[in-house]
Structure 1
């Protein structure tokens, strides 16, 4: 068996915020993970669909990004976009 080659193996402190809210189209149950990794972006986990994305303000400005990342319709993404615009700087 060959030696394992790690690109990195770090342990960091992270803050996790759990949020649940009802939008116009659907309920959103999210876990938001803040850490020093990912250039200040937030790991957003959708606990209902088991999908996640690493999101920053630049990603929120990209048309269709949330729809693609979370596999949701434009209408459902609108609620999520409104919320994420409030908390991601």
Structure 2
């Protein structure tokens, strides 16, 4: 049996939000897990593709990254998703980052 070193094994009550919306470019369904783990970054799961990522503000602003990450068809779709995330995900503050350290 291979030896391994456990990095973490935490249990927490997390807030989960499911949101779906439609625009002129498509339909989007996301599960958003708000947690104290991972420096306060929410875990965002695309319910259509199953792709997930921890998202920070700089990720939200990077349209090419969002397009590739969630398999979006165009930069216009990435812009719509970016706008949604900017309005829906909490911005990390220095206090939050310090508390997570």
Superposed CA RMSD in Å reads 1.5
Q: Which has the higher strand share?
A: 1
Whether 1:26 aligns to 2:26 is yes
1:87 matched to which residue of 2?
88
Deviation at 1:61, TM superposition (A): 2.2
Distance in 2 (CA, whole Å) between partners of 1:21 and 1:62 is 21
Q: TM-score, normalised on structure 1?
A: 0.87
Provide the secondary structure at the position in 2 that maps to 1:21.
Answer: strand
Provide the secondary structure at the position in 1 that maps to 2:87.
Answer: helix
2:41 matched to which residue of 1?
41
1:75 matched to which residue of 2?
76
CA contact (8 A) 2:63 2:79 kept: no
Alpha carbons of structure 1 residues 5 and 81: separation in structure 2 relative to 1, 3 Å:
same
Could you list the runs of 5+ residues in structure 2 that have no partner in the other structure? 92-101
Could you list the runs of 5+ residues in structure 1 that have no partner in the other structure? none
